[in-house]
Amino acid sequence: MKWTFDDIPELSGKVVIVTGGNIGLGFQSSLRLARRGAHVVIATRKLSNGHAAEKRIRALIPKASLETIALDLLEGDNIRAFFDKFSANHNRLDILLNNAGVVNLENLRHTAEGHEMHMATNHYGHFALTSHLFPLLCQTQDARVVTVTSAAYSSGGLHFDDMGWHKRSYSRLRAYGDSKLANLLFTRALQNQFDRVGAQALSLSAHPGLTGTERQQTIGIGGKLAKFVASSVDKGVVPQLRAATDPSSEKCDFYAPKFGIRGPACKIKAKGDALDDALAIKLWRYTERVTSCSFT
């Protein structure tokens, strides 16, 4: 049976963080979760963007419970400041939706620390954020972490001797694919961490398919294709919302459109390197060193 927004259960009393919750898939996630009664924390770099998103949501749901906290996934101190502010006001975290990301950057870009921008934003930043929030997730019954990935993971490959693309010729598609493979490996390794401490929490992943987000409609041939065959954002968001709320979800479930690019959200099986537990452990240890963050 097709899963729809109507299948999202009542979420009153639940606390949710949506990274990039002010735009695109993130905004739709914030809207739909708030509509079911969750308190939604919109994590975004600019407070003004989060407040604008709050205004849009409250125009549709006047009693929505919303909050914006600044978050820059490229800045370790900022990630810590986000955690400090969140934890000062909340003693639980039911859903962490690692949604924010960058897609197919045309030119090679590095952070101040020399990290390639796709990997830094899509993986390192969310790894660090989740590490700070890990104790809260562990103490919240039936908590979930949903990390948004992409079918592009199949074109990714991790080169631990050159994660920053300092030696190789840059390919935006492969760099993006690397980060999306990292997302899936992170999902597997994070579940092992929950299991290690006996937490009743789930780590899951979701792929939105080809969606008509602002960014996807500006990227070369792919952008032109997106304008004609992509699903709308309110359809593309369904996999991550199902991962976040479907009571039947199990450890490491991966939700995506049935037909890859589009279709009803269903459970699918990852393939190739995404299933390599040894690679997941190697990436985990590498990322701990890069971010100076630990889950112990």
Q: Which residue shows structure tokens 């929505």?
A: 64
**What gap in Å lies between CA 49 and CA 64, rounded to an integer?**
17
C-alpha of 46 from chain center: 18
- Local structure of 180: helix, strand or coil: helix
- If phi > 0 it is left, if psi is from -120 to 50 it is alpha, else beta; for residue 47 that is alpha
Catalytic residue among 124, 153, 176, 255: 176
Cα angle for residues 76, 81, 85 (degrees, 5° grid):
150
Read off φ and ψ for residue 258, nearest 5 degrees.
-55, -35
Cα–Cα distance list, 214 to 59, 76, 120, 156 (Å): 22, 27, 21, 23
**What gap in Å lies between CA 131 and CA 200, rounded to an integer?**
17
Q: Is 176 an annotated catalytic residue?
A: yes
CB contact at 8 A, 182 and 152: no
Q: Which residues pair with 152 in a beta bridge?
A: none
Contacts of 220 (CB under 8 A, 6+ apart): none
**What gap in Å lies between CA 235 and CA 27, rounded to an integer?**
13
According to DSSP, the β-strands at 65-70 and 95-98 are unpaired
C-alpha of 33 from chain center: 15
Q: Which residue shows structure tokens 């450890």?
A: 251
Tell me the catalytic residues. Answer: 176
